[in-house]
Amino acid sequence: MKKKEDEFLKFLTENKKKAEDQKINWESNKQNWLEAVEHFFKKVEEFLKKYKEDDLIKIKYEEPFYISEEYLGNYQTKQMTITTADNITAKLTPIGRNIIGAAGRIDLEGKNGIVRFVLVDKNSTMPKIKTQIIVGNKTTTNNNINTTQNIAKKELVWKIATPPPNIQYTEFNKENFINSLMEVMNA
């Protein structure tokens, strides 16, 4: 009888450890997300530095900008407004950390539309969606996807997402950002 109790205790201990390993540290996720947003804005400022120095555009931050997300709660970040000399504007707005298929999203919006920037694995070329079926204590998962735990283990970079339904990711670089900015400003 003692042997069965020992086996049961071992089973429960291993089960508890597995459950703890799978817990998501939401506070850490929020901090990583806020750092990624800050990094994104710094990159945009680098891309636009020459135009700002030549007084062709103005960059203004609206702070605080509040977001409320399930699991992360209420938190504050900032929103960037880019304005041309003739008052054409575009806003970069953080949408959130908990985005399907990505580790976060920022939208660039102007009078001519929206361009989405997503924080994804550097090797991603399109979104990947997780499917999971749980029956009793048996879980079946598609492992070729971006789960919250898997995303945290990957090298994340900002990419530009094409419009749905066939979303593809393109590199977030100066040329692509300027093209996106011109697109939403109707330039």
Q: What is the pLDDT of residue 118?
A: 97
Residue 153 pLDDT class (50, 70, 90 cuts): low
Q: Which long-range contacts (CB under 8 A, 24 or more apart) does 81-87 make?
A: 82/48, 82/57, 82/58, 82/181, 83/57, 83/58, 83/59, 84/56, 84/57, 84/185, 85/55, 85/56, 85/57
Q: What is the pLDDT of residue 158?
A: 97
For the chain, give the percent of residues with pLDDT over 90: 60
Is the model more confident about 19 or about 178? 178
Task: Give me the chain's average pLDDT, please.
Answer: 87
Q: Which domain holds residue 36?
A: 2-185
Task: Provide the domain count of the chain.
Answer: 1
For the chain, give the percent of residues with pLDDT over 70: 83
Q: What is the pLDDT of residue 150?
A: 47
Residue 128 pLDDT class (50, 70, 90 cuts): confident
Residue 4 pLDDT class (50, 70, 90 cuts): confident
Is the model more confident about 8 or about 51? 51
CA distances for 153 relative to 32, 146, 187, angstroms: 12, 10, 39
